[in-house]
């Protein structure tokens, strides 16, 4: 994975920030890493900040990413993904929700915190 990660344990959740250039393979790997970090810490709430990931996510990639996260994130956790408008969006969120994953794509950290609560 060529994305750089910053992982912080906060009292109420796990916070992961990714920085680098977008690629489908890197986001696949990132979702696996989120699962591993969450399991390691037994955190059931995660904020994943991908605002530092440069590049536009194609619509087909969003569909594949939604399906991938539904296979990887089998844990009963909630995840808020902070994403810019050219990153993952509501389409990705709908694909994941339709497959049983509790997540929200939001524009900022405050919205992410509100959704996790």
Residue 49 has pLDDT above 90, yes or no: yes
- The whole-number average pLDDT for the span 20-27 is 97
Share of the chain above pLDDT 70, in %: 99
pLDDT at res. 75: 66
Give the whole-angstrom CA distance, residue 37 versus residue 97.
Answer: 21
Q: Which domains does the chain have, with CATH numbers?
A: 4-116 (3.30.750.24)
User: What would the mean pLDDT of 54-73 be, rounded to a whole number?
Assistant: 94
Q: Tell me, what's the pLDDT at 15?
A: 96
Is the confidence at residue 76, as pLDDT, over 80? no
Q: What is the pLDDT of residue 51?
A: 97
What's the pLDDT at 85?
85
Q: 51 near 87, Cβ under 8 Å?
A: yes
Phi, psi of 82 (to 5 degrees): -90, 120
Is the per-residue pLDDT at 62 higher than 80?
A: yes
Q: What is the mean pLDDT of residues 60-70?
A: 95
Quick check: 4 pLDDT over 80?
yes
């Amino acid at each position: 994975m060529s994305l750089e990660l910053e992982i912080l344990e906060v009292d109420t959740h796990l916070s992961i920030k990714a920085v680098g250039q977008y690629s489908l393979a890197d986001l696949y790997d990132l979702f696996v890493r989120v699962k591993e970090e969450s399991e390691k810490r037994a955190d059931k709430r995660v904020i994943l900040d991908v605002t530092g990931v440069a590049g536009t996510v194609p619509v087909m990639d969003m569909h594949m990413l939604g399906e991938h996260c539904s296979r990887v994130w089998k844990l009963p956790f909630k995840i808020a993904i902070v994403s810019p408008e050219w990153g993952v969006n509501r389409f990705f969120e709908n694909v994941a929700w339709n497959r049983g994953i509790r997540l929200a794509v939001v524009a900022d950290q405050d919205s992410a915190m509100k959704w996790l609560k």
